[in-house]
């Protein structure tokens, strides 16, 4: 059986491993050996999959996709690693764009859009100096670079805002976390990554340097407040951390429909793009949480939330190729205030509801004549049992990702 998992992240946005580390890890799994960070999860009750079934699934993954947030930086290192590393899966590349939508109750919220960039000449060549690849890559930069650069600037300004906030909350505004320091750490991180990329990536401007919680985390660690990234997240920056900053207004990021219209005009000679709505199930969840807060019943709120996201997708259906209908649900449920049920029971309910919602999006895709896609959205954090490939409800063999990849 061939599986595809075409939604993963690397350290060139907010993933934990570099492109080559990620692909090396995948190729180890494909040979039937367990590799970090997964080795530590088995036996943990929160990781509901056995080592055997995990490895069985991992062994059959033949196509992986990398879609780092608002950047093209991972394209070249990913293609290189998938060629250089023995036993690596075939890789597709692209980016995950942050756009903004307005949900009736939740209000302004970010809507992620997946853009896969596929070479028109078919599979990637072995040699990155090959003219086909260079033309493809240069055209990616020329056509999509201005868009990702603009998105990345919005994203960076949000993280600088988070840095200010962290400085106020954790360091009483002493200037321990400053914008310049964050940028410098991010720049060093990106530079250290560029060791594995060829000179054509150097054409990128500094704007491509991605600031993330990873860089703010480094300052927190250097100040002795945490040992590692996991602790940074759980104690300080994560949802229940003391310095968590909820950014409610997605100012700056383009409206979903504007972004899609803009990208639909791009037409390359060497590259073609395939575009779709990422994990709509998470949009439903956000709207649902807002509805429950307003007093709606659990089930009604879920269905009405689905309907409003469905309406959005119908409105833009002419501008997209697919919906990401296979998306595992793994975030632990945040208890509504009045709720007295146990967290375990809620997690079971969440999985059921999200399976239902994913199935409803699948029906919608069929009605609208759209492709379906899926992936784990793995970031490969070593400290939290995020799913990674092979987790839970996702049955990637059902998706027509392979169809998407036919040139």
List interacting residues with Zn ion (CB under 5 A).
96, 112, 278, 377
According to DSSP, residue 382 is labeled S
CA distances from 383 to 37, 66, 100, 137, 289 (A): 8, 21, 30, 34, 27
Residue 157, CA atoms < 13 Å, CB-side half-sphere: 9
Smallest distance, Å, CB 112 to Zn ion?
Answer: 4
Smallest distance, Å, CB 333 to Zn ion?
Answer: 18
Smallest distance, Å, CB 9 to Zn ion?
Answer: 6
Smallest distance, Å, CB 10 to Zn ion?
Answer: 11
182 within 8 A of 219, measured Cβ to Cβ? yes
Q: Residue 407 and residue 404: Cα distance in Å, rounded? A: 8
For Zn ion, which is the closer residue by CB, 143 or 278? Answer: 278
For Zn ion, which is the closer residue by CB, 226 or 282? Answer: 282
213 within 8 A of 232, measured Cβ to Cβ? yes
Smallest distance, Å, CB 123 to Zn ion?
Answer: 24
Residue nearest to Zn ion as judged by C-beta position = 112
For Zn ion, which is the closer residue by CB, 276 or 385? Answer: 276
For Zn ion, which is the closer residue by CB, 112 or 326? Answer: 112
CA distances from 130 to 66, 80, 121, 136, 182 (A): 21, 12, 12, 10, 37
Smallest distance, Å, CB 282 to Zn ion?
Answer: 7
For Zn ion, which is the closer residue by CB, 112 or 371? Answer: 112
Torsion (CA) 194, 16, 324, 98 in degrees, nearest 10: -60
Q: Residue 140 and residue 136: Cα distance in Å, rounded? A: 6
DSSP per-residue codes, 193-260: HHTTS-GGGGGS-GGGPPP-HHHHHHHHHHTTS-SSHHHIIIIIISTTSTT--------SSPBHHHHH
For Zn ion, which is the closer residue by CB, 89 or 268? Answer: 89
Smallest distance, Å, CB 332 to Zn ion?
Answer: 17
Q: Which helix (H) or strand (E) holds 145?
A: helix 131-171
For Zn ion, which is the closer residue by CB, 280 or 385? Answer: 280
């Amino acid at each position: 059986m061939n599986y595809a998992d075409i939604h993963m992240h690397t350290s060139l946005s907010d993933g934990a491993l570099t492109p080559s580390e990620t692909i090396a890890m995948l190729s180890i799994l494909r040979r039937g050996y367990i590799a970090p960070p997964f080795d530590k999860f088995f036996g943990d009750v929160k990781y509901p999959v056995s080592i055997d079934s995990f490895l069985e699934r991992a062994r059959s993954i033949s196509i992986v996709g990398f879609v780092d947030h608002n950047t093209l930086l991972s394209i070249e290192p990913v293609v290189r690693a998938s060629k250089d590393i023995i036993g690596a899966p075939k890789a597709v590349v692209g980016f995950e764009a942050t756009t903004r939508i307005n949900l009736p109750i939740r209000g302004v919220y970010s809507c992620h859009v997946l853009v896969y960039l596929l070479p028109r000449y078919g599979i990637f060549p072995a040699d990155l100096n090959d003219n086909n690849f260079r033309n493809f890559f240069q055209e990616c930069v020329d056509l999509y670079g201005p868009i990702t650069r603009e998105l990345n600037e919005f994203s960076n300004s949000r993280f600088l805002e988070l840095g200010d906030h962290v400085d106020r909350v954790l360091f009483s505004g002493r200037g321990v976390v400053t914008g310049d320091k964050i940028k410098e750490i991010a720049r060093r991180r990106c530079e250290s990554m560029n060791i594995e990329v060829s000179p054509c990536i150097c054409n990128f401007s500094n704007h491509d340097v991605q600031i993330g919680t990873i860089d703010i985390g480094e300052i927190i660690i250097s100040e002795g407040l945490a040992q590692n990234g996991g602790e940074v997240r759980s104690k300080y920056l994560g949802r229940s951390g003391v310095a968590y900053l909820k950014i409610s207004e997605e100012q700056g990021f383009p409206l979903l429909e504007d972004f899609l219209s803009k990208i639909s005009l791009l037409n390359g000679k060497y590259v073609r793009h395939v575009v779709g709505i990422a994990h709509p199930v998470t949009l439903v969840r956000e709207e649902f949480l807002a509805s429950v807060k307003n007093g709606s019943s659990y089930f009604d709120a879920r269905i009405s939330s689905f309907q409003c996201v469905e309406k959005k997708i119908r409105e833009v259906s002419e501008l997209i190729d697919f919906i990401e209908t296979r998306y595992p649900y793994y975030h632990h449920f945040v208890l509504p205030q009045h709720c007295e049920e146990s967290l375990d029971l809620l997690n079971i309910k969440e999985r059921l509801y999200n399976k239902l919602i994913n199935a409803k999006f699948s029906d919608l895709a069929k009605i609208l004549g759209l492709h379906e896609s899926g992936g784990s959205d793995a970031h490969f954090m070593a400290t939290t049992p995020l799913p990674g490939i092979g987790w839970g409800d996702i049955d990637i063999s059902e998706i027509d990702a392979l169809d998407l990849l036919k040139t």
